[in-house]
Amino acid sequence: MADEQTVKQDEQTPKEEVPQLTVNIVSVEDTGTLKKKIKLEVPREEIDKRMTENYGELAKTAQVPGFRVGRAPRRLIEKRFSRDVREQVRLNLIGSAIERAIEESKLETLGEPDFKLEDIVLPEQGPLAFEFEVEIQPEFDLPTLEGIEVTETEAQVTDKDIDEQIENYRWQVANLQEVPAGGLTEKNDHIEADTKFEVGAEPPAVKYDTPLDLRGQAMEGVMLNDLGDQLAGLKIGDTKTIEATVPDTHANENWRGKTAKLTVTVKKLFRWILPELNDDLAKRFEFANIAEWRDTTRTELEARKGQQVRRDMETQIRKHLLDNVKIDVPAGLAERQTSRVLARRILDLQQMGIPPVLIEQKLEDLRTHARGQAVDDLKLLFVFDRIARQYEIEISEEEINGIIASIAGRSGRRPERVREDMMREGMYDNIRDMTRERKVIEKLLEKAKIVKGKAKKDDK
């Protein structure tokens, strides 16, 4: 009975609220697309209060020669521990002040605030003044989500589709073969070469015996789209220099807009050799002959027809949202999103069962495509998040575990190992985003106006 009364008394006793840090916001300025600079001051009395509190706590446990624990005079505590206390107060005030300033400014932020910690000094007198920058959530209005017109096409399996699928099988068992001296390089070959990469007057980056695939790819952050064509027709010992313009978004500001030069000297030449397409190859993949292989492949592709039609309808939904939502994204966030888009593309291919060797060969193409898609994907990320909240769409751990188990089954690995790899590579969050997007699109398709249509000849 006494315990019950105590509980009731505790419930009725109001909890003492911790006073919030007082922060004076000097100014809030726009410094770019969806980027704000906040200048603030922490009053002197707040600094002194934090210093007093820290010295008070320290006095209870500090060990000062000649005094028992908790008995040392305040002036000795301050003299002995002043530097440590000031640094602790400085860090705590900076973190609390930023959090309070964002709250008072009513900003919905993205990522972490940007500031120079080492430049912020705790003053002996007067307020603590500093500034920081932060990216903020875009503001936008959603279009009408009911009755979006979507065309459901008739997907057809062509002989070309079958040829490409069988070609995927051939690549699974392809081998690199060294080309004899006198042979000429061709696009998509693999070489070992000495390379020199230079931009402007900066010292060049020189590498020896470097493996290099002759296809479009990025080097030092500069895209060389026609590298395969440019380096075709060379023999061992030949040297050639190709040029490309450094993009304005390059991480190195000194390189932007300048001409990058790549000099390549061929040392060794290798070529991917695909096995001959015949009945023996068909038997390696457990088919009786090529005819049975093609028939089975046609059946498999026809079974995927619904998935192909569905993907096309989903693409139409995405396009409708992009065309009808006016939204800006922070420039810095777009650059960071590129790596996330690339991870998502790889995850898509893994779920489709594309062989790892083909994903590796297409990696640079995927990276190039990711740069172009980063902005659109960022816009959709915000839009899908807003729609998910509007329709109260949530993602359960069971759904994520199911996707991981599916990927593990396709790759022949344990789900625990797949999860660990994804966490390490930063791909785990992509699963949640992809699942949310899928459920949002399903909801929009339920509410869409479906129109039947015929596929064009080139549709796959």
Q: What's the pLDDT score for residue 19? A: 67
Q: What is the pLDDT of residues 129-168, one digit of tens each?
A: 999 999 888 889 999 999 999 999 877 888 999 999 999 8
Q: What are phi and psi of 205, to 5 degrees?
A: -95, 115
Q: What is the mean pLDDT of residues 47-58?
A: 87
In the predicted structure, residue 65 carries a pLDDT above the cut 50: yes
What's the pTM value of the predicted model, to 2 decimals? 0.53
Question: Is the confidence at residue 78, as pLDDT, over 70?
Answer: yes
pLDDT, greater one: 241 or 307: 241
Q: Which of 110-119, 241-250, 313-322, 325-334 shows the lowest per-residue confidence on average (mean pLDDT)?
A: 325-334
What confidence tens digit (pLDDT) does each residue in 428-439 have?
878 888 899 999
Q: What is the pLDDT of residues 12-45, one digit of tens each?
A: 544 445 568 899 999 999 988 888 999 999 999 9
Q: Per-residue pLDDT for 215 more than 50?
A: yes
Assigned architecture for domain 18-136: 2-Layer Sandwich (3.30)
Decide if 443 contacts 391 (C-beta within 8 A): yes
Is the pLDDT reported for residue 2 higher than 50? no
Which residues, including other chains, have CB under 8 Å from residue 138's CB and lie 6 or more apart? 34, 327, 328, 329, 382
Q: Which residues share a beta bridge with 129?
A: 41
Delimit the domains of the chain by residue range: 18-136, 149-166+278-452, 175-273
Contact 50, 129 (CB under 8 A): no
Kindly state the average pLDDT of the residues 303-325: 90
Q: Given 3.40.50.2000, 3.30.450.20, 3.80.30.20, 3.10.50.40, which CATH number is that of 175-273?
A: 3.10.50.40
**Alpha helix (H) residue ranges in 66-223:** 74-105, 159-172
What average pLDDT does this structure show over 53-66? 77
What CATH fold (topology level) applies to the domain 149-166+278-452?
A: Trigger factor, domain 2 (1.10.3120)
Dump pLDDT digits (tens) for 332-371.
676 677 777 777 778 777 776 677 777 776 776 777 777 6
- Give the C-alpha distances (Å, rounded to integers) separating 91 from 95, 356, 421: 6, 47, 34
Q: How many CA atoms lie within 13 A of 250 on its CB side?
A: 21
CATH fold match for the domains 18-136 and 149-166+278-452: no
Quick check: 9 pLDDT over 50? no
